[in-house]
């Protein structure tokens, strides 16, 4: 079955430290992959997307993600987090970009 | 407006009532999507329109759920005879045709609570 898995339900990071949020996918072919962020009471904001080509994708807010076919992963990274990065992060995928499957999300807490 | 808008933002319904949730997509966006997000979960696909045509409704959980987009712009998600398990945030998204690399832009959602 097609699926997107985010193994970490909750991550706590100190302000200024680096961040990596994990995402694994299971599809019969290379899917389109996305990272979204959701703040309380808000909709989903697109951070970055992978369709094909360069496996290192740059996004907004200093974020990047790397597509690794051998590991079926699309992990999100940031070299230095800010308190404003605290939110819920969702990885999503699809064989078309019309019917996305979302992971269950990773809640990011930033401590001073 | 610049983004996807949804109304109402909050809805409380008694079990058995019918509700209608509205989505206004970004102007010019051809595709429109509905997702259901239960508490503590990621969004789950419900249905998808391209213009006024409903191309995929495989995610609708039961025949109590019905969506329409009669003029290819505004869409309404209707839930008949609401049940407590329908309590969730309903998200709408839209996208523009960009040669196969469409990105879905989401609205703020409607939070439905069924008592």
Chain B residue with the nearest C-alpha to that of A10:
B40
Chain centroid to Cα A82, Å, comes to: 17
> Which of A28-42, A54-68, B96-110 is predicted with the least confidence, judged by mean pLDDT?
B96-110
Q: Decide if A94 contacts A36 (C-beta within 8 A).
A: no
Q: Decide if A93 contacts A99 (C-beta within 8 A).
A: no
Q: Helix or strand or coil: residue B45?
A: strand
Once rounded to an integer, what is the mean pLDDT over residues B1-24? 94
Q: Helix or strand or coil: residue B67?
A: strand
**Which CATH number is B5-114's, of 3.60.21.10, 3.40.50.10190, 1.20.1440.230, 2.60.40.10?**
2.60.40.10
Q: Testing the interface with A: which of B5, B24, B43, B107 to mutate, by most A Cβ within 10 A?
A: B43
- How far apart are the C-alpha atoms of A58 and A64, rounded to whole Å? 4
Work out the mean pLDDT of chain A and round it to a whole number. Answer: 93
Indicate the pLDDT class of residue A1, thresholds 50, 70 and 90.
Answer: confident
- CA distance, residue B50 to nearest chain A CA (Å): 10
**Domain CATH number, residue A46:** 2.60.40.10
**Tens-place pLDDT, residues B60-84:** 999 999 999 999 999 999 999 999 9
The three-state (H, E, C) secondary structure of chain A, written as one string: CCEEECCCCEEEEECCCCEEECCEEECCCCCEEEEEEECCCCCEEEEEEECCCCCEEECCCCCEEEEEHHHCEEEEEECCCCHHHCEEEEEEEECCCCCCEECCCEEEEEEC
Tokens representing B65 are 């759920």
Number of domains in chain A: 1
Q: What single-letter DSSP state applies at residue B26?
A: P
pLDDT for A29 equals 86
Residue A69 has pLDDT above 90, yes or no: yes
Residue A77 has pLDDT above 70, yes or no: yes
**Can you give the residue ranges of every domain in chain B?**
5-114
- CA distance, residue B2 to nearest chain A CA (Å): 14
Q: What single-letter DSSP state applies at residue B96?
A: -
Chain A residue with the nearest C-alpha to that of B98:
A97
Q: Helix or strand or coil: residue B84?
A: helix
Domain membership of residue A54 as a residue range: 3-111
Residue in A36, A43, A105 closest to B109 by CB: A43
HSE, side-chain direction, 13 A CA sphere, residue A13: 24
Residue A97 has pLDDT above 80, yes or no: no
- CA distance, residue A81 to nearest chain B CA (Å): 23
Residue numbers in B near A51 (CB within 8 A): 100-101
**Tens-place pLDDT, residues B39-55:** 989 999 999 999 999 99
């Amino acid at each position: 079955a097609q699926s997107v898995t985010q193994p970490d339900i909750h991550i706590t990071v100190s302000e200024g430290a680096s961040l990596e949020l994990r995402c694994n996918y299971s599809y019969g072919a290379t899917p389109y992959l996305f990272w979204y962020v959701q703040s309380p009471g808000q909709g989903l904001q697109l951070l970055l997307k992978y369709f094909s080509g360069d496996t290192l994708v740059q996004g907004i807010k200093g974020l990047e993600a790397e597509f690794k076919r051998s590991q079926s992963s699309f992990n999100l990274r940031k070299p230095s987090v800010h308190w404003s990065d605290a939110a819920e992060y969702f990885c999503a995928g699809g064989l078309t970009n019309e019917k996305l499957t979302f992971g269950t999300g990773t809640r990011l807490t930033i401590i001073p | 407006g610049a983004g996807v808008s949804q109304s109402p933002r909050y809805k409380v319904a008694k079990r058995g009532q019918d509700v209608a949730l509205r989505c206004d997509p970004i102007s010019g966006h051809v595709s429109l999507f509905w997702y259901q997000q239960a508490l503590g979960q990621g969004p789950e696909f419900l249905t998808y329109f391209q213009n006024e045509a409903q191309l995929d409704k495989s995610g609708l959980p039961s025949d109590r759920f019905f969506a329409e987009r009669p003029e290819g712009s505004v869409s309404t998600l209707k839930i008949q005879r609401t049940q407590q398990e329908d309590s969730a945030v309903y998200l709408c998204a839209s996208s523009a045709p960009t040669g196969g690399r469409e990105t879905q832009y989401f609205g703020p959602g409607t939070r439905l609570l069924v008592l």
